[in-house]
Structure 1
Amino acid sequence: MPPISKQPESKSLQIAVKSKPTLLLILPGNEGRKPVLEALVEFANIVVVLFVGGRDAEWVKPFVQGCIEVPQGSDNGVFNTSYEIVSNWFVNDESLPDGIMCYDEYGVELSSYLCEKFCLPGTPFGTMRMFRNKLAFRNACSEAGLCSIRYKHIKSEADINDVLQDKDWPFPSVLKPRKGAGSWHVHKIENRSDLLKIYHSLDENLRAGYFPVNIKDAGFLLEEYFEGAEVDIDGWATNGKVTFQLVSDNYPATEPYFLEQGGNYPSQLPLEAVNAFKDLTEKVLKLFSGVHSCFHFEAKMNLETMKLLPIEFNCRVGGAECPLSVEAVTGYYLPVVAARLALALPPPLPKRVAHKVVCSTNFYPDKAGVLTKNCHEVDAKKSKLVSLTLFQNRIGSNVQANNGSVSCLGWASSGGDSFEEASSNLEMVKKHIHVVVQPEDECKTE
């Protein structure tokens, strides 16, 4: 992608009329995020920040006042260079951004850093770094008595051998990157005889992939497998205090790769369990100073013992079907809430609730190969469709199987007045989704 961060010829080309505040958006994502930008431009002038050599973002240009390219990386030197580039793009103090936000996991640290440098509302940089580091998050929760499982940082084969020599190490366990997102390169380890082989495979795939170098070099986290019901808690915090939260169920992920399979909004668990998860959210936030953003918190509960486990805390809006599904049952569109928090504006009043319950699902290939069809014949009205995204731009491309969100080909959610109705409507949607993946050698011969 050619550079698009050059200084504009005039201030008028660079900064929109200040009848609206200027929002700096870090990493706008792919074209599936178009509805988000359409919502944000209603009350803010948008300037986007992209990584040099990152994905093309031509689609954002009709919505934004400008695009700024910065280097990719996560050390303070790279972040400071990015700050200087952004500062130079803006002409003078009158044109500095009024707020900074990010809904992409790989941009939240930069967003937090820039918020501090520009003295704008946001989660402190140190707090954000702890959330992005699964080991640091585990340590903080463990010290507070909120994490009862065993875990270990895996940096090399020597660390694996230490585990293998520990006769008390519990199996099954889970091996995952210490940093990262989207369940990439995650695997359940059933017994110690599989550990070394799976570690080598994951490490090789991680280093061959397109994760940033700092994620590759951070190694893995090996942790005891926790049996229980998993939930997402979506909401927002203002200056370190939870303002709103919604607990939603996750259907059991497909193991051993932990492919997400959708869930229910709101949770259908007993009220006692839902309240326990809300209490856990409050306790976790007290461990980390100054959270000021939307969040997507993942946690588990053993329903027999009521024991809880914080999994990870994402200081951003949830992805995929989450924003539209949360809006359908609460009236809050979280990307707009996040933007208004960043701009020091009050959250919007909730819209009319569309459904009492929403059920969702994700679509994956059953094997690796070339995606030849990814389409639908869904009756949106009949199925009470809330969201439907299919990555048709990947048709003709190779797709991976069993690698978290990398393998995801789309998602859908449907609503209803009850769990039974929403679930039935979702099944109606699934019957009209057509995904075909063919072996690569078959495509070459056609």
Structure 2
Amino acid sequence: MPNVQLEGDVGLQESIRGKTLLVVTVGNATRFDIYKRLHDLDVDLYCLNDRVVNECRSFFKGWIVVDMQMEEKTLLQEVHRRMDEIQLQPDGVICFDEFGIEVSSMICESLGMPCIPLQIVRCCRNKSKFRDFCKERSLPTVRFLQFSSLEQLHDIDERISFPAVFKPKNGAGSQFVQRVNNKEELYQAYFATVSSLQLSSSSYLWCSPTGPEEMSFHVEELIEGQEVDVDCVVFDSKLRYSRVIDNESTGGPFFLEAGCSAPSSLPQHAQTSLIRMAERIVAEFAREANRRIDGVLHVEAKWTSRGAVPIEVNCRLGGAECRCMHMAGWGVDLGVEEAMVALGRRSRTLDGHERQCRLLLQEEEIRTPLKEKKQEVFLRSVNFHPGRSGRIVSQSIPEDAEGYVDHKLFYTRGEEVKVPPRGFQYLGWMVVRGGTEEEARLRLEHAVKLSSLCVEDTAT
């Protein structure tokens, strides 16, 4: 956890102490700090997962270990049976892992608890359904095509323009997402992805639970512009908190995140338009589901020459350094805020941010800058992508570097990692701060130079 002062620390423990939360699927090591934080706030945590994870075991009061790949109805019945066995009556259900959010919403709906409705979660996880959703509701979108065989691509040149983006229909973590400049590259991406899935089908059940033979893909026109994340805390279908963070990519052909910067360098009117877009999406979600929306949303979008265009919506807290950026930049812990929403509680921490949000969204002239506290902290991050697949030989991060905030390494020395096209693993991330954008950039460059992360090619 970064060494920062969080807003609303005083009184937060009183409002959350003694509550019981069921966490659905553990997720990766970045999430362990959230569980520690909630544990330190005297929240009783139970975990529904396919195994007990020793690295974070001490933060949980109990575990419900089940086969998470069971048929949905059977899984829900088993979860309720196991909860009855241990007399578990949670006050809320949360999930920070993409592969557990459908199960989490399913459990919430069965218990009548606040959540993002299952119908909406499924829409967002299916890239083509989300594009259809945007098109039907006159939200900004691009031309796209869903397909499961090459025969369906015979007229692709007439249906979309290249360059385009190829991805699995049900994707996660940018895996297999790549730029294709023409039909031939699209075919190559398709064959390579299907081959990878056939070789390691058990590793990619999230793509197609029934196997790679029945998998569908999605291709859409490439949107040019600044890629951003719009992170939102939603309570009763209203934005209580929303901030824009700029993203950087490693460049083609695979869309791997290189890092990000906060606050966004986009002008005020652009950030306002992006937040308004997120608010509109939430409102349309509520209309579609005919019920309230409660949770944290990670909206990926681009600011283009024609305005804000959504790429996709993750119905959970963003991954990697996302939580750290908001904690260090604005003093808001999105992990705790997601827990508060799940408990049906309005966090006083967000009162000031909500007022700012309301003013922002009600402005008649979006080019008029709002009076806001001067930004005193600028953040930059890096994601450590090894240049090759292989075995980790050494890892060292300079925690004493000027401006250092936090870091997380996902693997230990001796473990193997795979990079595209063999796999989509990266070593971890680091965040630094500065008093200006330029200072943060220079400090990050210096900290990266001091870092030592070595991967040895196991083929040699």
What is the CA RMSD across the aligned residues, in angstroms? Answer: 2.4
Report SS of the residue matched to 1:107: helix
Aligned pairs, number: 412
Q: Hey, what's the Cα distance between the residues in 1 that align with 2:160 and 2:125?
A: 26
Deviation, 1:278, is 0.8
Change (3 A) 1:201 1:94: closer
Structure-2 change in CA distance of 1:353 and 1:270 (3 Å): closer
Quote how far apart the aligned CAs of 1:167 are. Answer: 4.2
Contact in 2 for aligned 1:260/1:404 (Cα 8 Å): no
Q: 2: distance between equivalents of 1:92 and 1:72?
A: 18
**SS of the residue 1:128 aligns to:** helix
1:27 correspondence with 2:20: no
**Shift of the alpha carbon at 1:378?**
3.6
| Maintained 8 Å contact 2:92/2:342 | yes
In 2, the alpha carbon distance for the partners of 1:247 and 1:38 equals: 27
Go from structure 1 to structure 2 and tell me whether the alpha carbon gap of 1:248 and 1:19 turns closer, same or farther (over 3 Å shift).
closer
Q: Distance in 2 between matches of 1:353 and 1:433?
A: 32
Report the residue type matching 2:107 in the other structure: L
Q: What CA distance in whole angstroms lies between the structure 1 residues aligned with 2:107 and 2:377?
A: 39
1:29, distance to aligned residue in structure 2 (A): 2.3
Tell me how far apart the structure 1 counterparts of residues 88 and 409 of structure 2 sit (CA, whole Å): 38
TM-score, length-normalised on structure 1? 0.86
Partner of 1:300: 302
Aligned residue in 1 for 2:293: 291
Note closer, same or farther for the CA distance 1:308–1:89 as it changes in structure 2 (3 Å cut).
same
The aligned amino acid for 1:331 is G
Structure 1 match to 2:104: 111
Query: For the Cα contact (< 8 Å) 2:93–2:104, is it kept in 1?
Result: yes
In structure 2, what is the Cα distance between the partners aligned to 1:343 and 1:142?
33
1:50-97 deviation per Cα after TM superposition (whole angstroms, max 9, x unaligned): 02xx6x512222111111122223xxx723322222222234897411
Counterpart position of 1:199: 190
Q: Which runs of 4+ in 1 moved over 6 A?
A: 350-354
Q: TM-score, normalised by structure 2?
A: 0.84
Q: Secondary structure at the match of 2:316?
A: coil
> Which stretch of the first structure deviates more once superposed, 272-281 or 204-213?
204-213
Is 1:36 aligned to residue 34 of structure 2? Answer: yes
Aligned residue for 2:150? Answer: 157
Q: Which one of the candidate residues 395, 401, 404 is aligned to 1:374?
A: 395
- Stretches of structure 2 that go unaligned for 5 or more consecutive residues are 1-15, 287-291, 353-372
Partner of 1:58: 54
2:133 maps to a residue whose letter is A
Kept in 1: contact 2:270–2:307 (CA 8 A): no
SS of the residue aligned with 1:183?
coil
- 2:131–2:141 Cα contact (<8 Å) kept: no
Per the alignment, in what secondary structure is the counterpart of residue 288 of structure 1? Answer: helix
1 CA distance for matches of 2:144 and 2:28? 35
Moved more, 121-130 or 200-209: 200-209
Q: Is the 8 A contact 1:173 1:225 kept in 2?
A: yes
Contact 1:138/1:147 (8 A) holds in 2? no
In the TM superposition, what is the alpha-carbon distance from 1:375 to its structure 2 partner? 2.0
> Residue 235 of structure 1 contacts residue 243 of structure 1 at CA under 8 Å; is this kept in 2?
yes
Aligned to 2:125: 132
Partner amino acid, structure 1, of 2:48? V
Question: Which letter does structure 1 place at the counterpart of 2:44?
Answer: N
Counterpart Cα distance in 1 of 2:230 and 2:62: 34
Q: Tell me which residue corresponds to 1:426.
A: 444
Q: In the alignment, what sits opposite 1:6?
A: none
One of 323, 338, 356 as aligned partner of 2:377:
356
Instruction: Decide whether the 8 Å contact of 1:146 with 1:308 is kept in 2.
Output: no
Separation in 2 of the partners of 1:153 and 1:307?
A: 25
CA distance in 2, matches of 1:90, 1:398: 37
Decide whether aligned partners of structure 1 residues 179 and 284 sit closer, same or farther in structure 2, where only a CA change above 3 A counts. Answer: same
**Partner amino acid for 1:115?**
C
Query: Which residue, out of 258, 264, 270, partners 1:267?
Result: 264
Q: Does structure 1 residue 341 correspond to structure 2 residue 329?
A: no
Pick the aligned partner of 2:63 from 63, 67, 74.
Answer: 67
Is the 8 Å Cα contact of residues 144 and 160 (structure 2) preserved in structure 1? no
Question: Contact 2:44–2:60 (CA<8 Å) still a contact in 1?
Answer: yes
Q: Out of 238, 251, 276, which is 1:279 matched to?
A: 276
Contact 2:295–2:315 (CA<8 Å) still a contact in 1?
Answer: yes
Indicate the residue corresponding to 1:324 in structure 2. 324
TM-superposed deviation, 1:168: 5.7
Please state if 1:414 is matched with 2:412. Answer: no
Who is 1:398 aligned against? 416
Residues 109-164 of structure 1, C-alpha deviation per residue, up to 9 Å, x if partnerless?
Answer: 0000000011111111111111111111100111222234210001112123342x
CA separation of 1:148/1:311 partners in 2, compared to 1, >3 Å: closer, same or farther?
closer
Please state how far the C-alpha of 1:383 moved relative to its aligned partner.
Answer: 2.0
Q: 2 CA distance for matches of 1:421 and 1:96? A: 49
Q: Is the 8 A contact 2:326 2:333 kept in 1?
A: yes
Counterpart residue identity of residue 214, structure 1: P
Does the 8 Å CA contact 2:30/2:319 hold for their aligned counterparts? Answer: no
Mapped partners of 2:313, 2:89: distance in 1? 30
Deviation at 1:405, TM superposition (A): 8.8
Distance 2:110 2:158 in 1: 49
The Cα shift of 1:407 comes to 2.1
> Using a 3 Å threshold, how does the CA distance of structure 1 residues 80 and 335 change in structure 2: closer, same or farther?
same
1:415 CA drift (Å): 1.1
Q: Would you say the 8 A contact 2:29–2:410 is kept in 1?
A: no
Tell me, what secondary structure is at the counterpart of 1:406? coil
Task: String of CA shifts for 1:24-50, please: whole Å, max 9, x gaps.
Answer: 001122444332111111141000010
Matching residue within 372, 380, 405 for 1:386: 405
Distance 1:115 1:353, change over 3 A: farther
Distance in 1, matches of 2:421 and 2:48, equals 27
For the residues of structure 1 that align with 2:302 and 2:125, how far apart are their CA atoms? 19
Deviations 1:154-182 (A, max 9, x none): 1112123342xx44631111100111211
The aligned residue for residue 3 of structure 1 is none
CA distance in 2: counterparts of 1:264 and 1:197, whole angstroms: 33
- SS of match in other structure, 1:226: coil
Partner of residue 256 from structure 1, selected from 253, 257, 264: 253
Aligned to 2:116: 123
Match of 1:177 in 2: 168
CA distance in 2, matches of 1:285, 1:66: 34
Aligned partner of 2:289 in structure 1 is none
* Partner residue, 2:48: 49
| One-letter code aligned to 2:192 | S
Equivalent-residue separation in structure 1 for 2:95 and 2:141 (angstroms) = 32
AA partner of residue 303 (structure 2): M
